[in-house]
Amino acid sequence: MKYHKRIYSILFVVVIATFSNCCNKENKLIKQESSNYLSTKSTAVMTLRDSLFLDKMRLYDSVIQYYRNNPNYSSTKTFGLDDGLQETKAYLNVKHVYYDCKYGNVQSYDTSINLPISSGNTVTMNDLYSLYNSSKSKLTNWFNETRFEDKGLVAVSLSKDSLSTTNVVVKLHAVFGNITTKTFDYGSPFGEDDNWRWGGDQGHCNLSNAGEDASDKIEEAINANHIDVVSPAPGYKLVYVPNDNDVVLIGYEYENPNDDPGKDNYLDYLIYYCTAEGSLEIRYDIEECLEYTEMNFYYNGENTLVYEVLISENQELGWFIVGELTPIESGSGNSRKIYHKNKLTFGQYYILLDPDIEFNTDPFSTE
């Protein structure tokens, strides 16, 4: 896009934080306090809630290991459906997600798994064990299919998709990421050479670097600069367990409060959304090309949404974990729209002992 000498007051997320680029692939990842944008707690330790969560995960792990070591074992233990899904989801994240990793671009997968249920919407431990094994098998296949060279499992969620009297269709959703040591400046990560086409892997505005686009670059910067809600004290680790459903934004939901009145495709919204309605046209050299100043604007707009606006609107979201941006084109002519669809994963966070020698973790590996 071009500015045509217009002056914009661009929203910037001012962040002061330090990160370790260490990515622990051997030890697995497993507080809900007020969701302030940046916590000043730099020596956070386990709360009673964290301790109870860890005890529950240790117990679940011991049951899974017992099933594995005793193939003919059968249990009469039952759970409420919601509790069973929540504990299995938490265990998948605690057992198999990498921690202390920084990710850039991400790739997500979805599938459905049938889970038998009994009267009163209860589920047996036997069937939860089968659900865990089916989920792990899917995750293993997806891990091997993921296009990234240095990759890790970022988050796993399980949610009810449809329910009958005898079974529930469980949606398994997983996000894998490209592990990175790249660091960005929070205020303006994009320089004068970062003028990118909006999507379609069309590369730079000068038609070079095909295979990447503005959505890739903004996604990478958002995830690589992920802000942890707290910094655990030495000897502890921070673990996220995602919510059942992602927050999905198309782009028109949140306007730029500092833009001039009227919709003209010039930074109208905090995330990229461009229309060709009425007298407006989407032009190759203007709307389809995001100059570096606009790349920085949309990057900061994303940060403003995930760390301030959305959490403020719904504190039950917990904390931002990872974002996936997909470029979408619909319509043609005067009805054409191009935008970045946002799939944003939030979740609850826990502080656990690190290393936790009583809990053997098992992250996926190409080794």
pLDDT band of 99, cuts 50, 70, 90: confident
DSSP states along 148-160 = -SSEEEEEEEEEE
Residue from 275, 265, 250 nearest 341 by CA:
250
Question: Is 153 in contact with 194 (CB distance < 8 Å)?
Answer: no
The mean pLDDT of 191-198, rounded to a whole number, is 94
Each residue's pLDDT tens digit, 197-237: 999 999 999 888 889 999 999 999 999 999 999 889 988 98
Query: Looking at residue 72, what is its pLDDT?
Result: 94
User: Do the strands 122-124 and 78-80 form a parallel or antiparallel pair, or are they unpaired?
Assistant: antiparallel
Show Cβ contacts of residue 254 under 8 Å, excluding neighbours closer than 6 positions. 269, 270, 271, 301, 305, 309
Query: Is the pLDDT assigned to residue 88 strictly greater than 50?
Result: yes
Token pair listed for 81: 């459906």
Token pair listed for 30: 């497993």
If one compares 19 and 147, the residue with the highest pLDDT of the two is 147
Percent of the chain with pLDDT over 90: 65
Question: Rounded CA gap, 131 and 141, in Å?
Answer: 16
Helix ranges (DSSP H) in the chain: 48-69, 81-96, 125-145, 214-224, 292-304, 310-313
Tokens 């046209």 sit at which residue?
281
Query: Looking at residue 265, what is its pLDDT?
Result: 79
**Coil, strand or helix: which one is 278?**
coil
The mean pLDDT of 111-125, rounded to a whole number, is 93
Return mean pLDDT, the chain.
85
Query: Looking at residue 290, what is its pLDDT?
Result: 95
Residue from 169, 174, 172 nearest 81 by CA:
169
Question: Rounded CA gap, 269 and 194, in Å?
Answer: 20
CA 313, 317, 322, 324 dihedral sign is negative
pLDDT band of 329, cuts 50, 70, 90: very high
Phi and psi angles of residue 72, each rounded to the nearest 5 degrees, phi first: -95, 5
Token pair listed for 230: 């707290």
Query: Looking at residue 31, what is its pLDDT?
Result: 25
Each residue's pLDDT tens digit, 262-292: 777 778 999 999 988 766 677 776 789 999 9
pLDDT band of 3, cuts 50, 70, 90: very low
Question: Rounded CA gap, 268 and 281, in Å?
Answer: 15
C-alpha distance from residue 43 to each of 171, 177, 202, 311, 356 (Å): 37, 28, 45, 23, 18
Question: Rounded CA gap, 319 and 310, in Å?
Answer: 10
125-145 and 48-69 helices, crossing angle to 10°: 90
Each residue's pLDDT tens digit, 138-173: 999 999 999 898 999 999 999 999 889 899 999 999
Query: Looking at residue 23, what is its pLDDT?
Result: 61
